[in-house]
Amino acid sequence: MSKIIVVTGTSRGIGKAIVDELMELDPNVVVYGVARTEAALKQLATEYNGRFFYVAGDISQKSVQEELVSRIKKQHGYCDGLVANAGVLEPVAPVEEYDQEQWLTHFNINFFSIVSLVSQLLPQIEAARGNIVFVSSGASVKHYYGWSCYGAAKAALNSYAQALACEKPSIRSIAVAPGVVDTQMQVDIRDKFGPRSMTAESLKRFTDLQEQGQLLPPDVPGAVYAALVFKGIPKELNGAYIRLNDPRLAES
């Protein structure tokens, strides 16, 4: 029986890499993707004919989540795992400049929408004794100037992974920080958010990595996330927050 995996934020970057890596792992795997850019989703559906299905829309919208879950139930009736990858960095600003609405909007995208989607998929994933993988960030444990919303939301995600591990013994969960990856987010940090809202010291780390050719290609974290959700999260890492370069991942 084919494994059914949900991946959010699949139109580009790490999300697309996860889809590609899953397709390489098993010729029978089926992926359901969600992203706002329908053209990119259509391209994946064409490339992986009959193995990639999608819902185009904002995953923070309950209607999009419900459509996704409904399609999975109608077309396959079960789900083996989820990789929660979709997220945004903005707003980036000094902490005193955030207002309550910005906090709420950011958390709705980067945290509450994930909790909502997990809640809807949980009965199916529990029945499959499956896996839930959260794309976290080093910013969840180390602050970067201007990233208050982002760091806090990712820290909440780490805690949620622990909660699932503690309270839902039939599944496994993990939060993995991917490192600094060559994606559109890094372009935005260097060209848009950084010069306007970050300190020179905080921005320098990202510009230096790009100039030195040290940004990771998306397929590197993509392969790790794909393996965790498809092959299974090791028991000893259940509920953990972990970095991509942690040797325990290489051992698993």
The reported pLDDT for the residue numbered 196 is: 85
Rounded mean pLDDT, 122-135:
98
The reply to whether 145 belongs to the active site is no
The reported pLDDT for the residue numbered 197 is: 86
The reported pLDDT for the residue numbered 252 is: 65
- Does residue 250 have a pLDDT over 90? no
Mapping DSSP onto H, E and C, the string for 42-88 reads HHHHHHCCCCEEEEECCCCCHHHHHHHHHHHHHHCCCCCEEEECCCC
- Give the 3-state secondary structure percentages of the chain, helix then strand then coil, rounded to 5: 55, 15, 30
- Does residue 22 have a pLDDT over 70? yes
Q: What is the CATH number of domain 4-179+218-251?
A: 3.40.50.720
The reply to whether 144 belongs to the active site is no
The active-site residue, picked from 136, 140, 148, 173, is: 136
pTM over 0.85: yes
- Does residue 47 have a pLDDT over 70? yes
The reported pLDDT for the residue numbered 134 is: 99
- Does residue 82 have a pLDDT over 90? yes
Instruction: Give the chain's mean pLDDT.
Output: 96
Helix, strand, or coil (residue 134): strand
The active-site residue, picked from 48, 150, 225, 241, is: 150
The active-site residue, picked from 154, 160, 197, 225, is: 154
The reply to whether 32 belongs to the active site is no
Rounded mean pLDDT, 80-107:
96
- Does residue 33 have a pLDDT over 70? yes
Rounded mean pLDDT, 115-139:
98
Strand duo 81-84 + 4-8: pairing: parallel
